[in-house]
Amino acid sequence: MGLFNSEACSKAYSVLKNNLLYAMIFVMLLRCDFRKLAKLGGRMVAIFLACSFTLFIGFVVGYPIFKSFLGVDVWGAVAALYASWVGGSANMAAMQAALPVDAGAYSCALALDTVCYSVWIALLLLMVRYSSKWDNATKADTSKLQAVADAAAKEVEKEKKTASAADWVFLIGISLMVSAISQMIGGALQNGFASIGLEMFDKGTITTVFVTILGLVCALTPLGKLPAVEELSTVYLYAVVSLLASTASVVDLLTAPMWIVYGLFILVMVSTASLANIGGSASAPIVASAYNSSYAGIGVLMGVLGAAVGNFFGIGIGQILKMMS
């Protein structure tokens, strides 16, 4: 059923959701300056991408096994979950615009995301006490990691500023303007793609890709240095997730237990995945600090990397899962 069931409410809901969603994507990506990510070095980025690939294998292998238990046309929600595990909750919300994600399936995926995230972070924190033994057993050289950690920490420290009211007003205005313009461009490009036989790229997908690229480009400009970016993206995220959840029915959550089984199946398959994948930019520095206080900067930058690529990866696996449905 959902809260927004009448026709008038549905139209207002759609306009509000889309404007806030694209604004959220743009603001979220303003912190994804690839010049900062260069501080991680090629090896750290390769590890992150390898973890993302193992998650991809887990999702693709598990989907045909569990899809009959998850519901009808759930491929979009599964792709949204993968985007979340590569990036974070904001990437998961972004898939609502890029792919046809059922509201009920999205609620189940959100429940799964919460449960598996909690289990994974607990396991990683539990392993802190054994980290030194593992390093000794494998004769791991952590000196290079420490060098990366020091560089990342300096980079993160430089960005700490206090946001003023003017920063908030300016960023809200520019993000909503970008959202409106992007939707116009997405609608115009949709017809062009359809004329050459690429109907899979609908308005939502095109707009999401356009906003993502624009956000990554603007992150290299002074816009990316505005102090209100992190806070506003969180406010937008809470608003968008609340709107998305309001359309779901409690009945849809009856399939949630099977979604959780599906998620645990993936975790068992891909136990190498990092919290920068499963958790995101908020939790990664916390766990990194538990192992070594100087690793927090690495956790932040790895989480930022996930946010930067999460939308692209989510759309990609979505098209694959659609073909498997």
- Structure token pair of residue 160: 């700490």
Residue 2 lies in a domain: no
* Helix (H/G/I), strand (E/B), else coil: 201: coil
78 Cα distance to chain centroid: 13
Residue 15 lies in a domain: yes
In one letter, which amino acid is 50?
Answer: A
Residue 131 lies in a domain: yes
CA 22 to each of CA 2, 147, 162, 214, 233: distance values in angstroms, whole numbers, following the listed order: 23, 37, 25, 11, 11
Angle of helix 229-246 relative to helix 103-126, nearest 10 degrees, comes to: 130
- Structure token pair of residue 163: 């946001």
- Structure token pair of residue 7: 């026709």
∠ at Cα 13 (108, 24), nearest 5°? Answer: 75
Residues 6+ apart with CB under 8 A from 196: none
> In tens digits, what is the pLDDT along the chain, a chain of 325 residues?
445 455 556 677 777 888 888 998 898 888 777 777 676 677 778 878 888 888 898 899 999 999 888 888 899 999 999 998 888 878 888 888 888 888 778 888 888 887 777 777 777 777 777 767 766 776 666 666 666 666 656 655 666 667 788 888 999 999 999 999 999 998 888 877 777 766 667 788 888 889 989 988 998 888 888 888 878 888 888 888 777 766 665 556 666 788 888 888 887 776 554 544 544 445 555 555 555 555 666 666 777 788 888 888 999 999 899 988 7
pLDDT (0 to 100) of residue 176: 93
Q: In whole angstroms, give the CA distance from residue 100 to residue 152.
A: 38
Residue 1 lies in a domain: no
Domain assignment of residue 163, given as a range: 8-324
Residue 67 lies in a domain: yes
Residue 3 lies in a domain: no
- HSE at residue 168, side-chain half, CA atoms within 13 A, is 9
Residue 224's nearest CA partner among 215, 233, 212, 236 is 215
Look at the chain and report how many structural domains it folds into.
1
In one letter, which amino acid is 13?
Answer: Y
- Structure token pair of residue 295: 């690793």
Residue 48 lies in a domain: yes
Residue 125 lies in a domain: yes
Residues 6+ apart with CB under 8 A from 176: 19, 23
Question: Which residue reads 């100087």 in tokens?
Answer: 294
Tell me how long the chain is.
Answer: 325
Q: In whole angstroms, give the CA distance from residue 237 to residue 227.
A: 17
pTM for the whole structure: 0.76
